[in-house]
Structure formats: C-alpha cells, structure tokens
Structure 1
Amino acid sequence: MAELAPWWPGAAVEVDGRELFVRRGPEPSAGREPAVFVHGLGGSATNWTDLMAELGDVLAGAAPDLPGFGESPPPPDDDYSIDAHADVVAGLVEALGRGPVHLFGNSMGGAVATRVAAQRPELVRSLTLVTPALPDLRPRPHPYQLLSGLLPVLGPVGHAWLLRRPPEAQVRTMLDMCYHDPGRVPPPRMTATVEEYRRRAGLAHVSRAELGSLRGLVQEYVRSGPRALWRQAGLVECPVLLVYGRHDKLVDARMALRAGQAFRDSRTVVLSDSGHLPMMEHPAAVAREVRALLDDVAPGPRR
C-alpha cells in the first residue's frame, strides 16, 4: 500500500428490518468480486480498512458494524448472540444481491463467519478467518480477564468503569492486548481511533453490546451437539484460509493445527511477528495469502 488508506465511507442499510451501518471499499466493477468483512468483539468495520485497500483491485468489499458496534444502533431485542450476529451477516449478503461472497471474519467475527458458511453455504464462495475465536477452554490470562466482565454485579460495574477511562488510555490498552508491536500504528490512525473511542463513550448501549456479545461467545465455547462451532467447521464446503498471529494474547496460535484439521479444504498461515489483528498489523502479508486463496477459488492472474 503506497499510502495510508482513509476509513472507507459508509451508510445505513436496512437488513431484515434493522439498521446496519456498512462501509464499502472500491465500487463493484469488472473483475472485482463481492466480499463481506466481519469484525470482532469491541471492533468495528474500520478494522478492515487497510486489508480492503490492499485487495481493492480484486474485491468489492462491504464491512458492516455489527449491531451495537461502530455506528450501528443496538438490536431492538438486545440479542447479541453468535446466532443473531450470523443472521445479520447472512441478511446483509442477501441484501447486497451479489452473492455468493468471499467472507472474512476476525476473532468473534470468525465464529460468526464460520456459522454463516456452515449454515448458509450458498452465500459463501470462500472463507478467510483471521485469528478466529473458535472454542478453546484452556486457561490463558488475557481471555480470563475479559471473562471477568461477566461476573454478577461486579462485572458490569467494572466494565462500565473501563469505558469511562480517557479514550487515549482505552486505545493504549486495546493496542497492548491486540498488537504484537503497537508502534506499527501510524499516528493518523491512532488519532482517528481515539476520536472514535471518544464518540462511543457517549453511547449508553456500548457496554451492553460488548458484554452481550462476550456472553454469546462464551455460550458457543460450551455448546455441544451438531451446532457446536468445531462440528460446524467440518461442514464448511468452500475453501478456507486460516490466519493466526504467533504473539496473539487472545487466540492461542496453537489452535491453528486444530482448525486446519477441522475445515475440509483449508490452508493455514501463522505470522511470526503478529498479534490478534494481523489484517491491521500486517495487511500486505494477509493480502498476499488472500490472493493465493482467490487464485484457488477462480484460477487466473490476480497479482
């Protein structure tokens, strides 16, 4: 990427009777195939800005703010389960009218995208999962810190206190947890992120959205039966790219082996110098892997 891409413009889209804010990359044209990018817990559509720019010559991307995140209003029923998020993403693909799409998901968005690909295979042409939050019950300090927000009474109070901290402090905490090298964040991007945290601080639903989505993700970690995420991974029919960061504090890179075995047609990449957000920390490297996947899906020159 020659220069830092600005956040893509967006607009409200009605999906199944609810409003969803969707940012769009380069406009559809000959040779550009449709893609949908799903962010993770606490994230937003802007997390995909640089990867969408890197792939702008081959993909016409649409990145939604999931309900209650970014600029999307909360869902009317306050349902932040993985099922609810998956229904919204599937509804967006249908609303775009250009499916099947190349579907991307990061962290919680990876769990959402996995469910969409398993349950609605006709909507998904390829699946790229970047540090997907698939069930892993082994104890690790940072995920357990997040889980403290679900403790009765004290959890929501503590989470609300965290959201009242200065935006600069919140952003530093996020970068320390999600990046291997926070110094890679360009100053203009840091400024824009702080301003976004400042805007979100005034919204009453932010804590509900984050804790509700965290609760929904935990429910998937303990789900058993045919709709358990690992079993659904085995149902995904399309080609899958799995991208992990060696220094991820939230999703253990060792899960790459299990994921590679769970999906039928998959290729796994572990980036040695990345944390939880490879598409932000190393967008060019992730884009190269995506292009290789696209070549497999539809042979022909893409580089």
Structure 2
Amino acid sequence: MSSGADRSTDTLLTVAGVRVRCRDTGDRSSPPVLLLHGIGRSLEDWEGLYGRLAPDHRVLSIDLPGFGLSERIAEKYTLESLARFILAALDVLGERRPVHLVGNSLGGAVAMQLSVLAPGRVRSLILANSAGFGREVILALRVLSVRPVGRRLLKNKSRDNAYRTERALFYDRRFVTEERLGHAMKVGANPGHDDVLLAVAHALGTFRGVRRGWRNKLLPAVAAQNKPTLVVWGAEDRVLPASHLDAARSAFPHARFAVFPQCGHMPQIEREEEFDSMVREFIGDVEAHS
C-alpha cells in the first residue's frame, strides 16, 4: 500500500484465521477514524465519509465478520465477540492509537462495547441511529430473532425482497437505487450471511424487541467513561425509532445530540453532506481539546 491522502484500498485481512474486507483511506500518520456498519450491511454504507475525512485522518472501515464480503467467525456471535474481533483487526492493521469510532445501528452498539472492553483504544464515539437505547425495532428483525421462522424468511433472495429491505432504511425512496439493490443482493449471497444475521438477531433481540439485559449493562458502563460522544438520528427511522433519543439523552447527559428531519435509518447516506459536516466538526473539536 502507498501512503498519502489520496490512498484508498480495499483489501482482505486475515484476522484470527478469518478473512475480512477492510478499506484503508488517508494518511497513516493522521488521527484514526474507524467506521462500523449495521446488521447485514457493509462498508459501502460510509461512501460519503471516506473522501471528506481522508485529507486529515486515517479512515478505516471493516465489513463485520459474516457480513459484507467478510468470512464469519466460528465462535458465538455476541457484542463482545464482535468488538474483540474489531480490536484484533486494528492490531493487524497496525493501529494502536485511540480511534474516533463512528457506528451506525449494530455498529453503534459494537462501538460502545469496544469502548468498554478497551477504553484506551477509543478517543470518541459517534453513534448514528444506534442499537442499544430502546426495545422497539422493526418487525423484520424481531422475526429474524426466531431462528426457524427467520431462516424461512431469508430463503427469499428475490430482487423484490431486497427492495423491501432497502426501502425500510430510507425516508426517501430515491435512495433505493439499482446500484444499492445489486450490492445488497451480492452481500446477501455471502455464504455466512444468513447464519450470521440470524445469530446476531437472536443474540441481541427476541420477537418482543431488543433484549433489555445487554442494554442495561452496556449503557451505564459507557456513560461512566464520559468520553466525547455525538448521537444523531433520522427522525423517520423505521428500524430503530427516533424516540430512542430520549433514552440516549438520559443515559449520556454529557453527549451532543442531533436529529435529521425527513431522514431514515442511515443519515450518513440520506443526509450525507450535513452528517459529514457534523462529524468533521465534532472530531475537530475533540482533537482541538484533547
């Protein structure tokens, strides 16, 4: 790999014997930012951030094991196993400095768990429509937590089903492009995708919603660290409702908060310019005051 602000390379890393896809952008000597996607997703969800952050940051993004184009891990899927895997991936990448963690949905929960496991490796938290702040979650994910029913549901690999899944993520249907549909079907064809999706859905939730146990344990542990934190939400999120912001405000009184109107589950895509500007400003403030 070359070094420099224009460097952008997708590569396959071997982490604990598992092949995972990583994108490594920007100058390795600059402060590191790590981007973590949501359940069933991939590093393409952060396309708008790479170029904007790369001039003055090392920007890393990883397909979580079993998602995107990454292989699955053999051990049981939990927030802790995912967070430990990401720490191991950072070691393979040679990045031992504290990172600015940006997580969407499941990626937000993994980011918080990583901060609890290794507080010295995390400089700040940016949580976009993050899991962990409430029980309510879209019916499709509640169904997936019931494995026999979820497995039958996932057998449908049609374009129509991919469209329904993508459509649930956005307030504006124009973001459900042919390119995104094609990529979603490619990701869904990952040999480990269905098993991992079911395992994660079951680990974190039930048919009634997101499990209370891990939420009640994780949030106080993160709050006690008092790390610089930015929590953002799309006001029209169909996956994790914006009402979860009330719990986030109670759990993290030290944090900054923002709501994007007419926006769904992925503000980094649907409000790309505003989201990127907010993240850059937040990270800049953290860098300036630490």
Over 3 Å counting, the alpha-carbon distance change for 1:59 and 1:113 in structure 2 is same
CA shift, 1:263, in A, is 2.4
Aligned length: 278
In the alignment, structure 2 segments of 5+ residues that lack a partner are 1-7
2:46 is matched with which residue?
48
1:298 is matched with which residue?
287
| Alpha-carbon distance between aligned partners in 1 of 2:174 and 2:214, rounded to the nearest angstrom | 41
Pick from 92, 95, 99 the counterpart of residue 95 of structure 1. Answer: 92
Give the TM-score, by structure 1 length.
0.83
| Alpha-carbon distance between aligned partners in 1 of 2:214 and 2:194, rounded to the nearest angstrom | 28
Pairing 1:222–2:219 present: no
1:149 is matched with which residue?
144
Over 3 Å counting, the alpha-carbon distance change for 1:281 and 1:222 in structure 2 is same
| Alpha-carbon distance between aligned partners in 2 of 1:295 and 1:36, rounded to the nearest angstrom | 15
CA shift, 1:54, in A, is 2.5
Q: Secondary structure at the match of 1:268?
A: strand
| Alpha-carbon distance between aligned partners in 2 of 1:201 and 1:217, rounded to the nearest angstrom | 20
Pick from 51, 55, 58 the counterpart of residue 56 of structure 2. Answer: 58
Give the TM-score, by structure 2 length.
0.87
Over 3 Å counting, the alpha-carbon distance change for 1:211 and 1:224 in structure 2 is closer
Partners of 1:118 and 1:235 within 8 A in 2: no
Q: Secondary structure at the match of 1:228?
A: helix
| Alpha-carbon distance between aligned partners in 2 of 1:292 and 1:145, rounded to the nearest angstrom | 35
Over 3 Å counting, the alpha-carbon distance change for 1:131 and 1:201 in structure 2 is closer
Counting only pairs closer than 5 Å after superposition, residues 266-285 of structure 1 correspond to structure 2 as 266-285=255-274
| Alpha-carbon distance between aligned partners in 1 of 2:184 and 2:235, rounded to the nearest angstrom | 27
Over 3 Å counting, the alpha-carbon distance change for 1:194 and 1:184 in structure 2 is closer
CA shift, 1:208, in A, is 0.5
In the alignment, structure 1 segments of 5+ residues that lack a partner are 1-7
| Alpha-carbon distance between aligned partners in 2 of 1:61 and 1:297, rounded to the nearest angstrom | 16
Partners of 2:133 and 2:245 within 8 A in 1: no
Over 3 Å counting, the alpha-carbon distance change for 1:175 and 1:195 in structure 2 is closer
- Shifted more, 261-270 versus 215-224: the winner is 215-224
4+ residue runs over 6 A deviation = none
Pick from 114, 117, 124 the counterpart of residue 115 of structure 2. Answer: 117
Partners of 2:69 and 2:190 within 8 A in 1: no
Pairing 1:213–2:203 present: no
Pick from 141, 150, 159 the counterpart of residue 154 of structure 2. Answer: 159
Q: Encode CA deviations 1:212-240: one digit per residue, 9 max, x unaligned.
A: 11112227723169x72222231333200
Partners of 2:27 and 2:56 within 8 A in 1: no
| Alpha-carbon distance between aligned partners in 2 of 1:73 and 1:113, rounded to the nearest angstrom | 20
Q: Secondary structure at the match of 1:279?
A: helix
Over 3 Å counting, the alpha-carbon distance change for 1:123 and 1:199 in structure 2 is same
- Percent of aligned positions that are identical: 24
Q: Secondary structure at the match of 1:36?
A: strand
